Chain A
Amino acid sequence: MTTAADLPQITKLDTGRERQARIAGAVLVALSVLVLFIFAPGATGSATFRLSRPTDALPLPDLAVPSSPFLYIAAAFLAFLGARQFIRGGGRWTALSLGLGFGIAVMALLVWAATGKAFSLTGMLQATMVRAVPIALGGLAGVLSERVAVVNIAIEGMLLAGAFTGALVGSLMGGVSGLVAAVAIGGLFGFILAALVVTYRMDQIIAGVVINLFVLGLTSYVSSQVFQQYRSLNDAPVFRAVKIPLLGDIPVIGPMLFQQNIFVYGALIMVAVATYYLFYTRYGLRARAVGEHPRAADTLGIDVHRTRYINVTVAGMVAGFGGAWFTLGAVGRFDEGMTGGRGFIGLAAMIFGRWHPVGALAAALVFGFADSLQQKLALLQTPIPSEFLAMAPYIATIVVVAGLIGRARAPAADGQPYVKE
């Protein structure tokens, strides 16, 4: 990803772009073929989408989409986007076309799956938000530490530590204490990561892998050694959803954004605060300077090591909060390895979101959407095996990450230790 080295060979850089555009075009055309030949032939009747639930204050009528015409139009549009990419692709259109194309393909999938049935859009959007929370917080933790050039593979471990501590302290002293403890333990592991990579100059990826291994080992050990015997230690209260008056009554968006528990609100607030911090305060500017060119930052009197310590510790706290979601925000008990790779998906969300907090949130929503979509589609009993639906978001990530490169750039000093002269 060292584009600077490529600068003398501008022509070569362009062919890379063109190849990306061709790949994107091929993907879009393939999606069009999929919609045309798999989805469209069998679809007769219409798909009904429920936009509100019976209990809502402002009920909306159901949305009925005639399946067959919709699918043919979608296929045509996808084919148009793909052909356009092939012929005059490249530049800023690639990402936009891909995004648009995936959106249309997902809509086509929904219409096809819901043909002749009713489908609750509100419920799915609400589930999307809930499932996006740990990924968004993991991605945000990644953004905060990579902006100061510390690669954070340890997010998974921090999430797991937060989940474990949340359950343990939550069972003993109540939910709020559990949440505080989870944030604190996340911060502790952030601090340990910073100490290992900044002070002891350990390889950043090794340090992250080690923290993951250590947390997985420790939490699994305590869980099987202690929690098996004393079940009361693993029985934490769960934060219930709090409805925000008025805003919660907005149809469709209300239940998604304003009838959620503290973790959803916390994630949204943290993303806003992190964006403000990184891009509109002098401390954020300093942090980014440390990530891009630590020596220059040092020359200007910024304490590189201190900045890295603070930011990575805060990143750990964010991940600890996200980890508490698994226990205090969802099921109330800890299970071995319950984060199930969400931290790594958060890392993907960070790259997908171009090292920006809002981008990471948006990417996390995509993952959350795919996750809840898969669950709902399994209920609708489509002929596609549920395993393939479950794979779809990961395949989409690969395609998008492959298609985005060139515009998404990691902080310049990412992954490098800084030795003061």
Chain B
Amino acid sequence: MSGRDMKALLERPVWGRSEVEDLVIVPLFAVIVALVLGALTMLATNVDIATIGHSYIALARGSLGSLNALSETLTAAIPLVLAGLGLALGFRAGLFNIGAEGQLLMGGMAAVIAGFALSGLPAAIHLPLALLVGALAGALYASIAGWLRAATGAHEVISTIMLNLISYRLLDYMLRMPAIQKEGRADPISRSVPEAAELPRLLSFIDPNLRLHAGVFLMLAMVALVWWVLFRSRIGFEFRASGESADAARYAGIRAGLVIVLAMGTAGALAGLAGANQVLGVLGRATPGFSAGIGFDAIAVALLGRSHPVGVLFAGLLFGALEAGGRQMQVDAGVSIDLIGIIQALIIVFVAAPLLVRAIFPWGFRRPSSGGRRP
């Protein structure tokens, strides 16, 4: 056996039992328990058992049951994964960025402006340009919080919350500006994005109503890119080192301020991309609140994915499926889509607190040796 093989053998990730418990059993339990508790919630609000069964069938059908359902699931997952990747990167660097919502709005708005203001360009230039402008706007907006943290120590939780609130007002104002507002409309709504700047729909040759668009490739590329940045690049190492121990990183010569600004900027770029993706791929224009809370759901996605790019991808797909299925559930069974919010929250509780799952289901788990997350 050559040395190279030995090395490969040693480095092969061995899945110990505790990892299987952490990565497979706990999430599985989490989803099942959350669905059961969701059913109990429906029961408590006077929904009869037949309807509960009906609604869960609709949930499955609406998320996975047909080509249209799969298309909707992916369409809903794309912005969640994109913004979630940015937040995960921030978490790794020790930054708790609540501002994805505002960065997403700013990125989307900038992409819309770039979309209608630069009309006449060929699609091969126009679309990448609009996406880039969206990412840059998100990055700049997030960098404000990063710079404040680095320069003055202002906590990013507070500054990003404030920047979110500012972004709502800014959006309202911009949507009423004569240069942006759609002609002949009194309500705040932007001009439409021309076709050259739209993300092309992928499945329109089968059915023009399938909304899945090219953003899905962008999403996969970004998952790979963020993975590479975090685990294979020097700056990613600096991000993770700063997140693990800010003091140790500083003594090791890592420039803490630069890391903060860069991590926030990258997170903002990804959130801005998520916003651009929504306006260029799904909505075609900007309206007040077009973010629809994606920036906050993305926090949950990043946490659920344990701040790992691949985890974020799966978490985003799960949340996208719940979102798409929830809409079907509302139509078919008449159960409010808000139920999905409860289920999502419960899933995160159980995934984020493995000790709680172990306490509820003592069987099926090895006895924790020290009670920690990774014994």
Contacts and interface: CB of A to CB of B under 8 A. Distances in A.
Interface string A201-225: 1110111011101101110111111
Contact of A390 (B169, B355, B356): B169
B154 interface: yes
A202 B356 contact: yes
Contact of A395 (B41, B166, B346): B166
Contacts of B296: 213
A347 interface: yes
B152 interface: yes
A421 interface: no
A19 B148 CA distance: 11
B352 A220 contact: no
A191 interface: no
B153 A220 contact: no
Contact of A209 (B41, B47, B151, B300): B300
B165 A341 contact: yes
Given A226-B45, A385-B173, A398-B148, A200 B355 contact: yes
Contacts of A213: 296, 300, 341, 344-345, 348
- A20, A221, A341, A347 pick with most chain B CB within 10 angstroms: A221
Nearest to A222: B45
Interface in A392-421: 394-395, 397-398, 401-403, 405-406
Nearest to A403: B152
A27 B88 CA distance: 33
Interface in A156-200: 196, 199-200
A177 to B, nearest CB: 20
Interface in B346-367: 346, 348-349, 352-353, 355-356, 359
A225 B338 CA distance: 9
A385 B250 CA distance: 45
A268 interface: no
Contacts of B348: 206, 209-210, 213
Nearest to A223: B338
A114 B56 CA distance: 59
A325 interface: no
A39 interface: no
A406 B153 contact: yes
Interface in B145-179: 148, 151-155, 157-159, 161-166, 169-170, 172-173
Given A341-B161, A391-B169, A200 B356 contact: yes
Given A200-B355, A351-B155, A401-B154, A209 B299 contact: yes
Would you call the interface of chain A mostly helix, strand, loop, or mixed?
helix
Contacts of A153: 157
Nearest to A336: B338
Contact of A2 (B41, B148, B172, B246): B246
Contacts of B233: none
Contacts of B170: 387, 391
Nearest to A405: B153
Contacts of A226: 45-46
A347 B157 contact: yes
B339 interface: yes
Contacts of B336: 220-221, 224-225
Contact of B158 (A205, A221, A222, A401): A401
Interface in A375-395: 385, 387-388, 390-391, 394-395
B244 interface: no
Given A390-B169, A405-B152, A405-B153, A201 B355 contact: yes
A192 B266 CA distance: 35
A348 interface: yes
Given A2-B247, A217-B340, A220-B338, A344 B345 contact: no
A221 B45 contact: yes
B96 interface: yes
A5 B45 contact: no
B153 A225 contact: no
Interface in B312-364: 335-336, 338-346, 348-349, 352-353, 355-356, 359
A224 B326 CA distance: 14
Contacts of A390: 169
A246 interface: no
B109 interface: no
A398 B303 CA distance: 26
A302 interface: no
Contact of A203 (B45, B46, B169, B352): B352
A221 B355 contact: no
A300 interface: no
Given A341-B161, A401-B155, A217 B342 contact: yes
Minimum-distance CB pairs A-B, first 3? A217-B341, A214-B345, A213-B345
Given A196-B356, A200-B353, A394-B165, 7 more contacts: A2-B247, A5-B247, A210-B300, A214-B349, A225-B339, A397-B158, A401-B154
7 contacts: A218-B41, A221-B342, A225-B338, A387-B173, A397-B162, A398-B148, A402-B159
